[in-house]
Amino acid sequence: MRKPELSVADTLRVAYEAKALAELADADAVTGAGPGTWDGPVVGAHIAFLTAHPDTAGSILGARTTEAVAKAAGAMGAADAVFVLVTRPTADYAPEAAARRVRMALEAVDAPAVIALDSEGAEDLARAFGLDGLPTGADLRVFGRSLGSVGDFAASLDDAAAKSRAWSTMKKVAAGAGIKAKTREP
């Protein structure tokens, strides 16, 4: 029996996925990052969320933060197109190496919107793109990407006003990348 032939689109997707996975492996090698320091589709990601440190329970984001990020992504119509990256995956943090890894990883997955979920992640994102900083609430267009920072997203979940500001920033960053929110608030 003959194997079914792949369409041109399927062939391209397989090739792009292999390329992105190889680039992510190269990025991880820069800092010695191990498995579990990124998650999500490597092809077709619309939004990349960054956090400096993994959750203490061993996952990238804590359960509440994961749920809130998923709701926000869903409200922006990107529920299945979210990439999440730990910017400081090892104990021996080296700022330039971390920035290089962040830039390489974001180039690999090519998400047009990138949102830092904490201040250290924002520092690493800024450094990765040669910026002096990325203040909370910022929405900058850099090298074809819309970059932003929501401050301490996990803490904002317990403060209605801070949560609203974080959602507003997420919508601005996503809109800068051509992603329109489908609901007012997740």
* Amino acid occupying residue 76: M
Residue 10 pLDDT grade (very low, low, confident, very high; cuts 50, 70, 90): confident
Output the pLDDT for position 161.
95
Residue pair 126/93 in contact (Cβ under 8 Å)? The answer is: no
CATH of domain 8-176: 3.40.470.10
d(Cα 69, Cα 84) in Å, to the nearest integer?
A: 10
Output the pLDDT for position 36.
92
Q: What DSSP letter does each residue of 25-47 carry, written as one string?
A: HHHHHHHT--TTSEES-SSS--E
Output the pLDDT for position 57.
86
Give mean pLDDT, residues 52-78.
93
Helix 119-128 vs helix 95-109: angle between axes, to the nearest 10 degrees? 80
Output the pLDDT for position 186.
65
Residue 7 pLDDT grade (very low, low, confident, very high; cuts 50, 70, 90): confident
Q: Express each pLDDT in 62-74 by its tens digit.
A: 999 999 999 999 9
Q: What is the largest CA-CA distance in the chain?
A: 62
Q: Express each pLDDT in 90-113 by its tens digit.
A: 889 999 999 999 999 999 999 999
For residue 120, pLDDT beyond 70:
yes
d(Cα 14, Cα 10) in Å, to the nearest integer?
A: 6
